[in-house]
Amino acid sequence: MSKWKWPATLYLGIVLITALPFFAKRFAEGFLWPWAAYAFAILILLIATERLDLRKYKIANSNLPWLSGAFILATLNFVLYPLTRTAAHPSTAPNALIDPAVAFFEGQHPYAVTLFDGAPISPGPGWIILNAPITLTGMIFALIPVYMGIACYAVSRIEAWRGNALVLFLVPSICFLQMNVVAHDLLGFSLAGVALTIAAHQQRNNMLVITLIAILSGIVATARLPFFLFPVAIATCLFRTDRAKALVFATVAVSVLIAIHGIFYLWADRLSLFYQPAHVFGRAANSQSPAQFIVVIALWIVISIYMWLRTDSSLSSWFLFVWAILFVPFATIGFAELFRGSELSINDIANWEGKGYVYFTVPFLAAALVLLVRDRQGQLDIKLVED
């Protein structure tokens, strides 16, 4: 199996599995036929993108398609996002960014507030403050289009048509569209992560710039407590080519992350408040037995080692490594929530809340595919080596 086919197979599987709730909710017992038609359409898209030489099309070599895609998404969200807030059970994702940001800029502790349904706030303080220009100006509907634009711009700096190809791998996904319209920040994190991974790869010979990227990576990684894995994964990739810069990147990024969490944790402790981002560990513990948890950790270690051994100087291998590091622990939580009961019913599939945990890392996988996609000149990968 070629370098492109195995990540393409994983991409296809994740996109189709996370689309199941949409079809189960709307077609009930007859959901398999429309789901199969959707699966066929996604498969055709994958094959066409891999076989066609997009570079020969003038429009594909400009930034207009991905810019238009981001603008269209933002426009649709402007109309649809308010409708999601009037649903019977609206998502708490946007409130988890907005409410603590409002509290913080009013002089309160961000975790002194509670969400409308009593759910704990998952995003960390650095991520909340970073997104304040969007959340506090009523622009929350544009959260995902903004981050998709940033990711596409970063990819287009390599080759313009690849930035447009990234849109093709993201927008047709039903789970992407669902997370986009409710402004789910997990997707925003991964799109930001794509841009940061590219920046770290391309600037890895510049100590000053790599340090600045590490600082920003540390801030972004506060999005969830377990996301310390993100800068560690980038540092591990850097280790392949420059151990000194890898050590600097890891030290700076993790130090920034710990400092931000530490300051807000101590502040919360002083006020006798629960540090709400820590609830994600409880969610992980509740979704698995101790034996299952040990198996997941062992699986994660084995996959991490295997993927690191396959990592080289190519940017695509960096994306695949970062994806694997984040996907395994979160996807197991998502699947555990789906198979929690003794029997899997249509209703369980239709109301599967953990699908976002399975899907949100797909931008890293899609970015790898965009770099691995074969054109008619037989180009399989881009080695951005600046030595």
Question: What are the tens digits of pLDDT across the range 140-152?
Answer: 999 999 999 999 9
No. of H helices and E strands in the chain? 19, 0
- φ, ψ of residue 317 to 5 degrees: the values are -70, -30
pLDDT of 259 strictly over 90: yes
Structure confidence at residue 241 (pLDDT): 87
Report whether 353 contacts 284 (CB < 8 A).
Answer: no
pLDDT of 282 strictly over 80: no
Report percent pLDDT > 90 for the chain.
Answer: 72
Three-state secondary structure call for residue 19: helix
The b-or-e profile of 158-174 (16+ CB within 10 A means b, else e) is: bbbbbbbbbbbbbbbbb
Token duo for residue 182: 């409710």
Report whether 235 contacts 200 (CB < 8 A).
Answer: no
Three-state secondary structure call for residue 63: coil
Class of residue 350 by CB neighbours under 10 A (exposed 0-12, middle 13-18, buried 19+)? middle
Structure confidence at residue 385 (pLDDT): 46
pLDDT of 175 strictly over 50: yes
Higher pLDDT, 83 or 379: 83
Q: Give this prediction's pTM.
A: 0.93
Report whether 298 contacts 322 (CB < 8 A).
Answer: no
Report whether 232 contacts 252 (CB < 8 A).
Answer: no
Structure confidence at residue 284 (pLDDT): 65
Structure confidence at residue 374 (pLDDT): 56
Q: Taking residues 325-339, report their average pLDDT.
A: 91
Higher pLDDT, 301 or 4: 301
Question: How many whole angstroms separate alpha carbon 184 and alpha carbon 361?
Answer: 13
Q: Taking residues 40-59, report their average pLDDT.
A: 85
Three-state secondary structure call for residue 89: coil
Domain residue spans of the chain: 5-372
